[in-house]
A and B are shown apart, each in its own frame.
Chain A
Amino acid sequence: DTGVSQDPRHKITKRGQNVTFRCDPISEHNRLYWYRQTLGQGPEFLTYFQNEAQLEKSRLLSDRFSAERPKGSFSTLEIQRTEQGDSAMYLCASRGPGAGGENEQFFGPGTRLTVL
Chain B
Amino acid sequence: DAKTTQPNSMESNEEEPVHLPCNHSTISGTDYIHWYRQLPSQGPEYVIHGLTSNVNNRMASLAIAEDRKSSTLILHRATLRDAAVYYCILRDRFYNNAGNMLTFGGGTRLMVKP
Q: What are 10 A-to-B residue pairs whose CB atoms are below 8 Å?
A: A31-B99, A33-B101, A42-B107, A43-B104, A48-B99, A56-B99, A93-B102, A101-B30, A105-B102, A106-B46
Query: Roughly how many angstroms separate A31 CA and B97 CA in the complex, as a whole number?
Result: 13
Among A42, A56, A95, A99, contact of B104 (Cβ-Cβ < 8 Å): A42
B52 → A minimal CB distance (Å): 13
Using a CB–CB cutoff of 8 Å, the interface residues on chain B facing chain A are 30-32, 34, 41-46, 49, 85, 87, 91-107
A25 interface residue (CB < 8 Å to B): no
Query: Roughly how many angstroms separate A106 CA and B41 CA in the complex, as a whole number?
Result: 16
Q: Which of A41, A42, A93, A102 has the most CB of B within 10 A?
A: A42
Q: How many A-B residue pairs have CB under 8 A?
A: 76
Query: Roughly how many angstroms separate A31 CA and B32 CA in the complex, as a whole number?
Result: 19
Residue contact B98 to A45, C-beta cutoff 8 Å: yes
Query: Roughly how many angstroms separate A71 CA and B62 CA in the complex, as a whole number?
Result: 39
B33 → A minimal CB distance (Å): 11
Other A-B pairs beyond A43-B44, A48-B101, A103-B100, 16, CB < 8 Å: A42-B85, A44-B104, A45-B103, A48-B98, A55-B98, A56-B98, A56-B101, A91-B43, A100-B96, A100-B99, A101-B91, A101-B94, A104-B49, A105-B102, A109-B42, A110-B43
